[in-house]
A and B are shown apart, each in its own frame.
Chain A
Amino acid sequence: MLLFLAPSVILLVLINAYPLAVAASQSVHKGSLIIGGSFVGLENYTDALTRPAFWNAARFTLVFTLAGVFGSWLVGLCLALLLRARVPAGGFFKVILILPWVVPIVVSSTAWNWLVATPDSPASRLAQSLGFGEPLFLADPKLAVITVCAFKIWHSFPFMFLMTSAALSSVDRNLYEAADIDGATRWQTFTRITLPMISRSTYISWILMTIFCVNDFPTIFLMTGGGPVNATTSLVVLAYRTVFQDFQTGPGVAIAFLMTITLVVTSTILYRQVRKAVTA
């Protein structure tokens, strides 16, 4: 039966493990994309860690990830709770609400750009008429961060909605009947029954979304290109630029690795939490 795993293992070794090993070696060597250089030890790492751009990008990645994970989770959870009960045309909504996740980022980022990019865009005009002055959604560093996070939440909430809906549908209805009879309030039912019963799925959706957010490239790159003044440069965008625009392979790969290590540690901690939630 282990033969069944063979194609998958071969692919994994060739496409995932081999490049990882090469990347590890690149990160401790000088040199460009094509020509290998001399061994420099951890110099690329110390180089990356002493760049202000690195810490700037790390801070933005953290903000972007927290906003992306919890923002999309809250929206997805509310929708899943609303649509769990009987709602007219519920089935239709369940399909159409997935669209933001299905539409390619290249397309949705263009539409968002049309909506917010210039002072003449509809969203900017709306904000002006509501008396918010002249907001530059993509040109003001702080607003650009908020806009990119909002775009990420908009793109990701359907995934959270699907995960949460699946989890909610597996909660035993009898528990709610029993809680009703015991006189539990709606809030008590939610915090004492619903949330604990779906906690496993919640942790998993957080882990996956953390991975999706940290590794996200197109959402940021297509909306702002990392600007204005690097306010929305995440670690992936920084690594991409360092390798493919500044042609500094070593430091670029070192940045990607530092990010990977943080991500693997974070998701392993969360993964253990899941196992605890399962056995508890």
Chain B
Amino acid sequence: MTTVGHRPPIATLASDAPSNRWMRPASRRTRDTRGQWGRFAAILIFTVLALIPIYVTLLLSVQPGTFSTSSSVLTLEHFADIFTNTDIVTWLGNSLGVTLTTVLISVIVAAPAGYVLSRARSRAVSAYSLLLFVIQSLPIITAVVPLFVLFAKLGLVDNLIGIIIVYLGSTMSVATWIMAAYFDSIPRALEESAWMDGCSVFGSFVRIVLRNSLPGVLSTAIFAFLLAWNDYLVALVFLKSSNVFTLPVGVQGFFLQNATDWGPVMAASVVMLLPPTIVFAVLNRYFSVGGIGGSLAGH
């Protein structure tokens, strides 16, 4: 690698001179185009195969059941069925409430912590970074058992606030890393000039740094959204009655009762997969997990 690295003049020439494009032999360009379609075919085949479970879900949710009265090919009867015969509306509301609260608090807590991780260069801060790493590697099950005992005393079992607290504990490490990674990309000069103008550290953080960190904030928000929306274990342990179920436990219970009646089961699945898919489809360009690497190893 080092021998390669010692030849910048040639490399620069090759990449900077536009005339080189026209001097390429024609065969090379056709090979590029062919390679392009070859890669396209490979990716297309992989994608089609990899997404089979997702089409299956969508397809079965709108296909009439065996005893259906409807004669059309597509039907919304399964959706009508689950919305009238199950508590899915309650579960949906609970899931949305829990998820959005988790997202909001995660960002509010992780943003300032990430800022410290990004800017401070003290031993205590790098120790904290390592601590976050250790916390992240702890299985949630070790925390769940003692928290269950504690929450039982505080009346937080079978209570949505209880699971929000647990989710906050599990998003904290990664949320802080994502924020720190994003703050790393914001030049210090911005805040420093604000300090010169008499802005407080907190003021410059909120008005300068945070205002320029929308992608970082959204990245953290998407991460927290997915974690809280998709969690199954915590909800399974802490939630006992149907009126506080979130979608994963509610829907899973419904699946177990209707194991062979796939139409309503898949309709419930669709209700559950739509929100994260929409969030991701709209905000995907802001989402980057690559940055985690930098903040984990950078300090």
B177-226 residues with Cβ-Cβ distance < 8 A to A are 201-202, 205, 226
User: How many whole Å from A42's CB to the nearest CB in chain B?
Assistant: 17
A35-79 residues with Cβ-Cβ distance < 8 A to B are 79
CA distance A15 to B135 in the complex (A): 10
Cβ-closest chain B residue relative to A173? B15
Tell me which of B36, B56, B60, B148 contacts A86 (CB under 8 A). B36
Q: Chain A binding site: helix, strand, loop or mixed by DSSP? A: helix
B99-148 residues with Cβ-Cβ distance < 8 A to A are 108-110, 112-113, 115-116, 119-120, 124-125, 128, 131-148
Cβ-closest chain B residue relative to A257? B142
Interface string of A15-45 (1 = CB under 8 A from B): 1101110110010000001100000000000
Cβ-closest chain B residue relative to A271? B133
Which residue, A15, A96, A111, A244, has most C-beta atoms of chain B within 10 A? A111
Q: Does B272 lie at the interface of the complex (its beta carbon under 8 Å from any beta carbon of A)? A: yes
Interface string of A201-213 (1 = CB under 8 A from B): 1001100100100
Known: A103-B277, A110-B265. A200 touches B54 (CB 8 A): no
A163-184 residues with Cβ-Cβ distance < 8 A to B are 163, 165-167, 169, 173-175, 177-182, 184
A-B contact count (CB 8 A): 294
Q: Does B51 lie at the interface of the complex (its beta carbon under 8 Å from any beta carbon of A)? A: yes
Q: Are B54 and A23 neighbours in the complex by a CB distance under 8 Å?
A: no
Tell me which of A33, A79, A167, A256 contacts B142 (CB under 8 A). A256
Which residue, A154, A215, A275, A278, has most C-beta atoms of chain B within 10 A? A215
Q: Does B89 lie at the interface of the complex (its beta carbon under 8 Å from any beta carbon of A)? A: no
Known: A8-B109, A19-B147, A181-B10. A166 touches B273 (CB 8 A): no
Known: A87-B40, A95-B284, A167-B290. A111 touches B1 (CB 8 A): no
B20-43 residues with Cβ-Cβ distance < 8 A to A are 35-37, 39-40, 42-43
What's the tally of chain A residues with a CB closer than 8 Å to chain B? 102
Q: Are A1 and B113 neighbours in the complex by a CB distance under 8 Å?
A: no
Which one of B70-78, B80-88, B165-173 contacts A?
B165-173
Q: Which A residues have a C-beta under 8 Å from some C-beta of B?
A: 1-2, 4-5, 7-9, 11-12, 14-16, 18-20, 22-23, 26, 33-34, 79, 82-83, 85-89, 93, 95-100, 102-108, 110-112, 114-115, 154, 157, 159, 162-163, 165-167, 169, 173-175, 177-182, 184, 192-193, 196-197, 200-201, 204-205, 208, 211, 214-215, 217-218, 221-222, 236, 239-240, 243-244, 249, 252-253, 256-257, 259-260, 263-264, 267, 271, 274-275, 277-278
**Which 6 A-B pairs have CB atoms at the shortest separation, nearest pair first?**
A166-B290, A15-B169, A22-B146, A8-B113, A4-B112, A111-B53
Q: List 14 A-B contacts (CB under 8 A).
A: A5-B125, A12-B132, A15-B172, A82-B43, A95-B280, A102-B280, A104-B248, A106-B230, A107-B272, A111-B266, A175-B4, A178-B5, A182-B3, A278-B298
